[in-house]
Amino acid sequence: MFCKVKKTTKLHNFVIMVSERRDILESILKIEQIEKYYGNKSSLTKAINNISFEVQEGEFVAIMGASGSGKTTLLNVISTIDKVTSGHIYVAGEDITKLKGNKLNQFRREELGFIFQDFNLLDTLTAYENIALALSIQNTAVKEIEERINKVARELSIKDVLNKYPYQMSGGQKQRVASARAIITNPKLILADEPTGALDSKSAKMLLERFQYLNDTLKATILMVTHDAFTASYATRVIFIKDGKVFNEIYRGEASRKEFFDKIIDVVTLLGGDLNDAL
Amino acid sequence: MMLCKLSLKNIKKSFKDYTIYFFTLILGVAIFYVFNAIGSQTVLINTTKSTYEIIDLMVNMLSGVSVFVSFILGFLIIYASRFLIKRRNKEFGIYLTLGMSKRKISMILFFETLFIGLISLIVGLGVGVVLSQLMSILVANMFDADMTKFTFTFSTSACIKTFIYFGIMYLLVMLFNVYTISKCKLISLLYGAKKAEKVKLKNQVICTIIFIISVIILGIAYYLVTAGFEFLDTADKIFIPIVMGIVSTFFIFWSVSGLLLNIFMSMKKTYYKGLNSFILRQFSSKINTTVFSMTIICLMLFVTVCVLSSALSIKNSMTANLEELAPVDIELYKMLNLTPEDGENTNAVIEDSKFSVRDTLEKNNFNISEKLMDVVECYLYKEEDFTLAKSLGGNLDEILKKYRYLKYDSLQNIMKISDYNKIAKLYGNETYTLDKDEYLIIADFESMILIRNQVLKENGIITIQGKDYSPKYKECKKGFVEISSNHINDGIFIVPDDAVDESMQYGNMIIGNYKAFDKDGKRKINDELQKITSKLWNKESLISMNSKIDIADNSIGLGALVTFIGLYLGLIFLISSVAILSLKELSESTDNKMRFLMLRKIGVDEKLLNQALFRQIGIFFMFPLLIAIIHSIFGIKFCTIVLESFGTKGLLPSIIMTAIFIVVIYGGYFLLTYYCSKNIIKEK
């Protein structure tokens, strides 16, 4: 009981802290006391147990946690792939937990960009067509599709793989194509689920540098789920999740990536063995 | 027993995957039963002896066809079970990692096949028994039987036969399954699904060239079976266009997806609209991996369309022909003035050939004036050396080149104009007048008319008894003398009465109606005449008869035979081909599920997704059908040429009937596949 009160107080402080920042930047994502339960009364799993936080425009947030900590569930409910049991999620002021049917699809299509661990490219389409699909389902004109793909391909250095099929590309290339598909619609929020999970370290580094570029130069808002401290160190803020709750969060501020990485490792150590195993 | 339980649970669990398989099995069993039960249904019908014989022939042919059908169904079932095993690779992989032996997995499959086999057999037989009651209505209708006393029929023999045939098929499937399991490797079982599909990209230029060449070859094949029919003068040459057609169909399927893709990709506005690029890619990758099956399916559909529409059209024309070609009850014919040189005839026959039909009948106590009415008596004449070859005159060489199989040495029939007019009047046909040096030809066999018209147009002067006659008309006149079920009159020369004399007589006929006013009375006279002619035939006289009743019996039987065999084969072919299509589509449902899940994640509307699925399956189903229909247009045209003597009266209604069959079965399978796939991609 005592423990719960303590947590709430901590959370309270956090909310105040965030609301102070609100004056400076507009809040893109606002999560209010969401819960997600699985199972029935006899065996209830609380995948998310009262989480609240906000993400401002232009932020690059990493969510860290061990397997089973609820981080993927969190991403799923933000991306409307899954529904919350209680609480509210606002994206650019709109409560997406109230959305239904085609409104949901429309929201996903227009406001969100997805990057998955296993790329999720369509194997029958070329890279170009995969990227174009995100625009063509929004009825974008052919000429504009072409212009935007050329632009994004330059930014993500995938110009030379545009006419290749997924099976002809390396993991890093596939993930950059997937990223291109995610950002081409100019979404308010880019959601990335373990984007480096299936990549070797060199490709991972290259991808993360691209993410940084998107965030710095193009002011893209990115929310990334990972269990890898190195990946998280590219973010501007890291939120740690344990057992369905926010455990801690740290800002990068003016620190270098290396210093931030060390800070993350400190928290991970504090978090306990679970995440260490995953490192 | 554990294994048995596991199999039962598996079936229950994966019932959705098995829907199409079950459906096809049940349909197969039902059709098999229905057509094999026809024999026992016809027993109930009171028929004459001549009908009975043809029913016997029909039942025998149906059981022969059943063997063929069981082969097709056997292949289909093995093919289908291969798909289902593939879908469950992972499950078997898990069993193996858990330490289950391959023998035990085979046992699981054995029980599954056993259960599925038993259930489908029982349900299929149930459906079959119900359907065969409907079939008995059709059977009774065909044989003009009395339908007022409807009896429920169950054919034990057909039932046992179905059990045996399908039992053997299922046994083969079991053996095949055991073989598949014993061959497979654990690694491919577990990770087989994850193998990245390589998109075989075909060279655009090669695709285009091959497509164009295939279309040209197909065009030549089409030309050969229709307009260029004359080139196919011997029977074995028909294989040339068939092989051309098969090869070009294969290469059209091989090249079309690359071509279509390239065309659509250049139409950027369409290609990059909604999910069009996705649908087209799905279609082309599927066509690319199934060129061979697509060819088989397309050809099977083509055969289905041709067989169904030709069979139904033969049946329809036969009924229609009967009214037109047998306008009177009886025609008796006899050869006259035979000499010992005219083949091996007994002395009695030669002696008898001096008398007319009337004399012979009366000698055998048949009173013509009492039993017959509307009687017309007439003679056929011949001129020594006036053969078919001679009648063709100067065109002989040219015709000889095209038609080698005609009997060029047969003597041509000649008839007096007055005799012909009497017959024509009785038949309700047109009558003619001739000047002293004119003649005309009466014929109704289409290809002979074409040959003779050519002669009539160019010169056509014939010589009889040293006197020349020129054609009154530049074409043959439609008509016939002998009653029959088909258009088989290859030409009778009608000449002025004084052109021939008695010495040239070689045939005598009596045409008329029976003096009776109900079916039974007519049949009685018919039986009496039949008894006389069959008693005399070849022993005492060469007297023969054609009667409307006999022709009707025969054509009803023949019509039924053709219809039932056509329906049987057509239905089995149709079901087999569409079932393969369905299974192909559903076997890729796991891949599709992933793809649609991805699309859903990037925010494609549910409506658009369903539309994409519908279009994807629709195109996949329509494409082979479309090519089969194009083939069929020419195939049916060819059939009408070959089956010309039957007439082509019922072609349109029979094509409509065929279309209904295809729409119902093909469409049914299509919708079933669509809903099954929709369910699969809906699962999360």
Q: Among partner residues B201, B272, B598, which is closest to A136 by beta-carbon distance? A: B272
The SS3 of residue B182 is helix
Yes or no, beta carbons of A136 and B273 under 8 Å apart: yes
Question: Residue A248 domain-assigned?
Answer: yes
Reported as a single tens digit per residue, the pLDDT across A132-165 is 988 888 888 888 899 999 988 888 888 999 988 8
The pLDDT score that the predictor gives to residue B670 is 94
Q: Which helix (H) or strand (E) holds A31?
A: strand A27-39
State residue A15's pLDDT score.
Answer: 44
Asked if the structure places residue B568 within a domain, the reply is no
- Which residues 249-268 of B have a C-beta within 8 angstroms of A? 268
Beta-bridged to residue B579, according to DSSP, are none
More confident residue, B587 or A211: A211
Query: Any bridge partners for residue B512, and if so which?
Result: B330
- Model pLDDT, residue B251: 92
Q: Do B598 and A129 touch (CB under 8 A)?
A: no
Q: Which amino acid is it at B185?
A: K
Q: Which of B201, B276, B603 sits opposite A105 (nearest CB)?
A: B603
CA B206 to each of CA A192, B238, B250: distance values in angstroms, whole numbers, following the listed order: 42, 30, 15
A124 contacts in B (CB within 8 Å)? 197, 199, 278, 281-282, 285, 595
Q: Of B160, B192, B224, which closes a domain?
A: B192
Say if the Cβ atoms of A136 and B276 lie within 8 Å: yes
Pairwise CB contact (< 8 Å): A107 & B196: no
Interface contact flag, B272 A114, Cβ < 8 Å: no
- Residue B265 one-letter amino acid: M
- From CA A251, how far away is CA A265, in angstroms rounded? 14
Position A18 in a domain: no
Nearest alpha carbon to residue B141 among B638, B531, B598, B563: B563
- Single residue among B511, B531, B547 that ends a domain in this structure: B547
In a domain, B603, yes or no: no
**pLDDT at position A7:** 43
pLDDT at B464: 86
d(C-alpha B17, C-alpha B14), whole Å:
5
Nearest to A129 among B197, B277, B598 (CB): B277
- Mutation test of the interface with chain A: which of B267, B277, B611, choosing the one with the most A Cβ atoms within 10 A? B277
Query: What pLDDT does residue B441 have?
Result: 92
Which pLDDT score, from 0 to 100, does residue A274 have? Answer: 52
- Tell which of B547, B571, B594 closes a domain: B547
Q: SS3 for B105?
A: helix
Residues of B in contact with A120 (CB under 8 A): 598, 601
Contacts with B596 from chain A: Cβ below 8 Å: none
pLDDT band of A4, cuts 50, 70, 90: very low
Number of domains in chain B: 2
Determine the pLDDT at residue A8: 42
User: Looking at the domain assignment, is residue A31 inside a domain?
Assistant: no
**Shortest CA distance from B281: residue in chain A:** A124
Note whether B518 contacts A: Cβ–Cβ < 8 A.
no
pLDDT of amino acid B48: 62
Q: What is the mean pLDDT of residues A244-269?
A: 88
To probe the interface with B, which of A133, A162, A190 has the most B CB atoms within 10 Å?
Answer: A133
Intervals of chain B under pLDDT 50: 196
- Give the pLDDT band (50/70/90) at residue A18: very low
Can you tell me the distance from the alpha carbon of B61 to that of B564, in angstroms, rounded to the nearest whole number? 10
B102-142 and B548-587 helices, crossing angle to 10°: 150
Chain B residues near residue A166 by CB distance under 8 angstroms: 196
* Domain containing residue B538: 327-547
Strands of A94-95's sheet in order across:
A44-56, A27-39, A86-91, A94-95
In chain B, residues with a C-beta closer than 8 Å to the C-beta of A145 are 272
C-alpha B419/C-alpha B380 separation (Å) is 9
Q: CATH number, domain at A188? A: 3.40.50.300
Do the domain assignments include residue B480?
Answer: yes
Token representation of residue A168: 């002809």
CA atoms within a 13 Å half-sphere pointing along the CA-CB vector of B198: 4
Joined together, the tokens standing for residue B393 give 């005159």
In sequence order, the 6+-apart residues with CB closer than 8 A to the CB of B583 are: B20, B21, B79, B80, B83
SS3 at position B236 = helix
List CB contacts (< 8 A) between B600 and chain A: 105
List residues in chain A touching B: CB distance below 8 A.
79, 81, 101-102, 105-110, 112, 114, 116, 120-125, 129, 132-137, 139, 142, 145, 165-167, 181
3-state secondary structure of B413: strand
Looking at residue B201, its pLDDT comes to 62
In a domain, A115, yes or no: yes
Q: Which residue of A114, A123, A145 is in closest CB contact with B602?
A: A114
Q: Tell me the three-class secondary structure of A155-200, residue by residue.
A: HCCCHHHCCCCHHHCCHHHHHHHHHHHHHCCCCCEEEEECCCCCCC
Element (H, E) at B514: strand B505-514
Q: Is the pLDDT of residue A205 over 60?
A: yes
- Which distant-in-sequence residues (6+ apart) come within 8 Å of B45 by Cβ? B139, B140, B143, B145
Question: Are the beta carbons of A133 and B277 separated by less than 8 Å?
Answer: yes
Nearest CA distance, A72 vs chain B (angstrom) = 15
Distance (Å, rounded) from C-alpha B557 to C-alpha B628?
30
Q: At what angle do helices B15-43 and B2-13 cross, to 10 degrees?
A: 90
ipTM (interface pTM): 0.77
pLDDT at residue A149, as a whole number: 92
Which residue in chain A has the smallest CA separation from B195?
Answer: A167
Q: Is residue A112 domain-resident? A: yes
The whole domain housing A126 covers 57-83+103-278
Greatest mean pLDDT range, A4-13, A93-102, B124-133, B136-145? B124-133
Q: How far is A137 from chain B (nearest CA, A)?
A: 4
Between A120, A142, A166, which is nearest B272 by CB?
A: A142
Q: Is residue A119 part of a domain?
A: yes
Chain A residue numbers touching B198 (CB-CB < 8 A): 167
Instruction: Give SS3 for A229.
Output: helix
Higher pLDDT, A85 or B151: A85
Does A50 fall in a domain? no
CA–CA separation, B42 and B136 (whole Å): 8
Q: Cβ contacts (< 8 Å) between A78 and chain B: which residues?
A: none
Residue A6 belongs to some domain of the structure? no
Domain tally, chain A: 1
**Spatial distance between the Cα atoms of B455 and B403, rounded to a whole number of angstroms:** 14
Contacts of A117 (CB under 8 A, 6+ apart): A193, A194, A195, A197, A198
HSE-CB at B180 with a 13 A cutoff on CA atoms is 23
Q: Does B164 touch chain A if contact means CB atoms closer than 8 Å?
A: no
8 Å CB contact between B346 and B539? yes
Enumerate the residues of chain B whose CB falls inside 8 A of the CB of residue A137.
274-275, 602-605, 608
Place of tokens 């909604």: B274
